[in-house]
Structure 1
Amino acid sequence: MQIDTTPNQSSYDVVIIGGAMMGASVAWFLANHPGFDGSVLVVERDPGYELSSTAHSNSCIRQQFTQPINVQVSQFGADYLRNFRQYMGGDPDVPDLHMQSFGYLYLAATAEGEQVLRAAQAMQAAEGAGTQILTSEMLAEKFPFYNLDGIRVGSHNPVDEGYFDGGSMFDWWRRKAKSAGVEFIRNEVTGISRAAGHITGVVLADGSRVGAGHVVNAAGPRAGLVAQMAGVSLPVEPRKRYTFVFEAARPLAVDLPLTVDPSGVHVRSDGKYYMAGCPPHEDPAVAPDDFIADHSLWEEKVWPAIAERIPQFDALKLMQSWVGHYAYNTLDQNAILGPHPEVGNFMLINGFSGHGLQQSPAMGRGLAEWIVSGCYETLDLSPFAYDRIAAGQPLLEQAII
């Protein structure tokens, strides 16, 4: 499909930098907000989204977080997925979104790890999540295929946890936003104009300037670079994360929960195959276009961990693998959302550190509400405000994989 490279107008009420999942979410929720009748431009440098975090996502959702606000965000996300057609206006062409709810299973091998899981489970249960702590004996009875040597407890929640069709949600947000008048172009923002603590517009790759009432930084792993253009600092950097899809010679007779092993490797069912992931041996910031893979990771780290935890997986065939990027918040691995305190019309939706896809319904809705009314109208997302970054006071999320 042909995508324009030149905007139709010289200025817009909202310019969104980045058209992947977060940018599309903000665009749709703005277009759907009853109090908004302005113009929106989405500028995307890679409209095929081949290098985006969205394209490389494993498309999972969970409520097993260590911060209550993240549990609440995912609870709305699960409701949104279950009722996607209704949230999209009841259009019969909008599909029902498939969600496979086999749950996450976090395993703890140390007393400290057990304490973290027990504290998180108590908080999650207070928020209405179905998380349960399972002793090693309970784990052995429920999941007899695990080798539980050294495992003290597990934390499991099979309710509204698993993976979902994030691709369809992304596609329909863009479709509906376009039909509502949102303009998407293929171009790159190379500069941001600022005067007296206020963003006045953006500069595109061809040197043209576009005025803006609000500018939204939805640039994923490139968010730090975009923030620099606006003259502000953002602790968000690209970090590599690996995904491996494999076939088991002796597959399990039941779905495998997304198992988060103490080794740092996680693995789950993926149809007739299985999907595993992990960070690299070392985890530095990388260039946003660096997708070079360390092919030793599968043989040296991932396969041994999987075969150790699930002896039935002693014979595996790697089908495919890829490298994606987390937009990693180095302060606390949590989202940064809302206006920048020094540049009030520069809006942030950044730093999700691997859980952005599942949080995109609540985050896009919340930022759209703020742009329209200057506050969060539904779920209070103020814990994610930039203020904590400036103060160096982390809202630490410990359940990052």
Structure 2
Amino acid sequence: MASYDVAIVGGGVVGSATAYYLKKLGYTGSVAIIERDTSWQSGCTARSCGGLRQQFSTPENIALSKFGVTVVKNLKEEFGPEADAAFREQGYLILATASGMPVLEENHAVQIAHGAHNVLLKGDALAARFPWLNADGLAGGCFGLSGEGWVDPYSLAALFRKAAMARGVALIQGEVAGLRRDGARISGLDLASGESLICGTLVNAAGTGAGRLAALAGIALPVGPRKRYVYVLDCPAATEALHKAPLTVEPGGVYFRPEGRNFICGLSPEEHEEPEVFDWEVDYAWFEERIWGRLAERVPLFEAVKVISAWTGHYDYNALDQNAVIGPHPEIANFLFANGYSGHGLQQGPASGNAIAELILHGGYRTIDLTRFGYERILNNAPLFEKNVI
């Protein structure tokens, strides 16, 4: 029976970054990543939009994303001269009406206080900066001047995974079917193939499967899949300025951003509208009925667009408060969480992996204090809400 000092369930950016930073920070024990889909096509990472932003309401989220941006801007130093994740630093633009402006201003103040580089634009300044924008009914917008944009998520995750494997981390293809718990410790795991592994520490980086994995240990974790659609648009009338647009979020939640010669867009549903079937089928009526009109109203050039393709992704959604759960279980100390990012996992994966590595190596956080993101708030039903979920 194979034995590993650290077993990481989930090989997306969170799990791969955890393995990488363990080795980078000097961990000498054996490490394995267990991943059911080694085509890397269906996880949260590969199907994300690759966004990087500091426009959050929670200081920890700002810090997590700032760490990720620093990594992305220094990929060649971190991973070698060929490393590239196609970072486009075009910013985020979060728009607000008069009723939403107080929250936008409050969030902006938190962001500036924690080192984000953005600016509030109002009235003529907003319209002048973005001539493709219909500013009617808008009170203002918050625009990221630097450190915001998007990357190719597949490439970023692959850099961490390959670098971890180059440092001796094992990759095991398989699906966890059971956990062996001896009192206050996890002693091993059983795979659906019939193979069993012994582990010293278990890291739950299982994405949408995080809640199911925790349940195998008798732990309640309110993290599961939420279905999201991303539509690819052709807009023949698009100007050069529109192709240089930031990722823009209108007050109702519709977002868009440039993607090569095209654009992508989407809208997260309200709680009562959430799809109940977590397959990979795209609902094109969602675009026609809920997105297109609002998009064209805010960006008149989008009045004539064509959906040329689309895909479905699944958020690893934390139903308590849409913030990540990071750190050890208070009673099962060798079971560590890195879950529930609710759409932020790609940008927060590098810092989360570093944080979990610090916990394993040092028994505490050294870079970012993520104590408030611990599992205790799940136990106590004490949500720490993030106001800026897209």
Q: Deviations over 1:216-247 (max 9, x none)?
A: 11110111000000110101121011111111
- Gap regions ≥5 residues in structure 2: none
User: Are 2:373 and 1:381 equivalent residues in the alignment?
Assistant: no
Partner of 1:188: 175
Moved more, 347-356 or 120-129: 120-129
- Please provide the CA RMSD for this pair: 1.5
Asked if 1:105 is matched to 2:96, the reply is no
- Contact 1:366 1:376 survives alignment (8 Å): yes
Q: Can you list the C-alpha shifts for 1:30-84, whole angstroms capped at 9, x where unaligned?
A: 12222x1111121111111221111111111001000111111111111111112
Moved more, 124-133 or 277-286: 277-286
Q: CA deviation at 1:300?
A: 0.8
Q: Does structure 1 residue 56 correspond to structure 2 residue 47?
A: yes
Q: Does the CA-based 8 Å contact 2:177-2:191 persist in structure 1?
A: yes
Partner of 1:398: 387
Structure 1's consecutive aligned runs of 4 or more residues displaced over 6 angstroms after TM superposition are none
Q: Give the secondary structure class of the aligned counterpart of 1:56.
A: coil
Where does 1:206-225 land on structure 2 (aligned, <5 Å)?
Answer: 206-225=193-212
Partner of 1:257: 246
C-alpha displacement at 1:160, in angstroms? 0.8
* Contact 1:240–1:283 (CA under 8 A) maintained in structure 2: no
SS in 2 for 1:216: strand
Q: TM-score, normalised by structure 2?
A: 0.95
Aligned equivalent of 1:361, options 350, 356, 359:
350
Asked if structure 2 preserves the Cα contact closer than 8 Å seen for 1:238 and 1:286, the reply is no
Q: 1:366 touches 1:379 (CA, 8 Å); kept in 2?
A: yes
Is this contact kept in 2: 1:64–1:120, CA < 8 A?
yes
* CA distance, structure 2, for counterparts of residue 97 and residue 207 of structure 1: 37
The amino acid across from 2:42 in the alignment is L
Q: Distance in 1 between matches of 2:376 and 2:276?
A: 26
- Structure 1: tracts of 5 or more residues without a match: 1-8
Distance in 2 (alpha carbons) for counterparts of 1:222 and 1:32: 27
Aligned position for 2:19: 27
The C-alpha deviation readout for 1:304-334, integer Å capped at 9, x for no partner, is 1111111111111112101111111111111
**2:264 is paired with a residue of what secondary structure?**
strand
Which one-letter code corresponds to 1:85 in the other structure? K
1:5 alignment counterpart: none
| CA offsets 1:2-57 (integer angstroms, 9 cap, x no match) | xxxxxxx62110111111211111111112222x1111121111111221111111
Distance 1:200 1:17 in 2: 14
Residue 85 of structure 1 deviates from its aligned partner by 2.4
Q: Which residue of 1 aligns with 2:148?
A: 161
Q: Give CA deviations for 1:251-286 in whole Å, capped at 9, x if unaligned.
A: 122111111112221011112111111124644374
Residue 258 (structure 2) aligned to one of 261, 265, 269: 269
| Conserved 8 A contact 2:84-2:155 | no
Q: Spell out, residue by residue over 1:140-170, the C-alpha distance to the aligned partner (whole angstroms, 9 max, x if none).
A: 1111221222111111112111112332221
Distance 2:276 2:218 in 1: 22
Between the aligned residues of both structures, percent identity stands at: 41
TM-score w.r.t. the length of structure 1 is 0.93
Return the match for 2:78 from 66, 80, 87: 87
1:126 aligned partner: 113
**1:72 is the counterpart of 2:67:** no
Match in the other structure for 1:3: none
Partners of 1:214 and 1:345 within 8 A in 2 = yes
* 1:172-205 residue CA offsets vs partner (Å, 9 max, x unmatched): 2111111211111211110000011110100111
Is 1:170 equivalent to 2:161 in the alignment? no
Which segment drifts farther, 333-342 or 97-106?
A: 97-106
